[in-house]
Amino acid sequence: MSEKPIHIPVLLSETIESLDIKPDGIYVDCTTGFAGHSSEIAKRLTTGRLIGFDRDPDAVKAAEEKLKDYPHTLINRKFSTFDESLDEIGVGKVDGVLMDLGVSSYQLDTAERGFSITRTHLLI
């Protein structure tokens, strides 16, 4: 039996198609989360590279596991550090950028994450 995904990305095929991914390109996912979109981008890269941003350490850890077989760099920072972070890793030009600015069901369904309006939990 397969494990239920933490989050199912919305408009996945449309998003991937819109990016028109080149196998040798550099692509940035500014909202990597649990790597739903990121893994689909990374699967299409041969000599290219995926760079993912997320400020949530739990999401970065999960994304690292999902992306382990693909060329990638994960950055545990806000995407507002885009320019500075890419400079630090020597990337001056990218072929595509994705920003999925919604909130994931995991964030809403897990009370201790602090986003739920239907469940209570002690926040520390």
pLDDT given for residue 2 in this prediction: 47
- In sequence order, the 6+-apart residues with CB closer than 8 A to the CB of 33 are 7, 54, 56, 59, 63, 100, 104
Supply the pTM of this predicted model.
0.85
Amino acid at 36: G
Q: Map out the domains of the chain with their CATH numbers.
A: 12-113 (3.40.50.150)
Asked if residues 42 and 16 have their Cβ atoms less than 8 Å apart, the reply is no
pLDDT given for residue 5 in this prediction: 60
Q: How far apart are CA 30 and CA 79, in angstroms?
A: 5
According to DSSP, residue 21 is labeled -
Tokens representing 17 are 């198609």
pLDDT given for residue 116 in this prediction: 66
Sequential pLDDT tens for the chain (124 residues): 345 566 778 899 999 999 999 999 999 999 999 999 999 999 999 999 999 999 999 999 999 999 999 999 999 999 999 999 999 999 999 999 999 987 777 777 777 766 666 777 666 6
Neighbours of 36 (CB within 10 A): 21
* Main-chain dihedrals φ then ψ at residue 22, nearest 5 degrees: -95, 135
Q: How far apart are CA 53 and CA 75, in angstroms?
A: 5
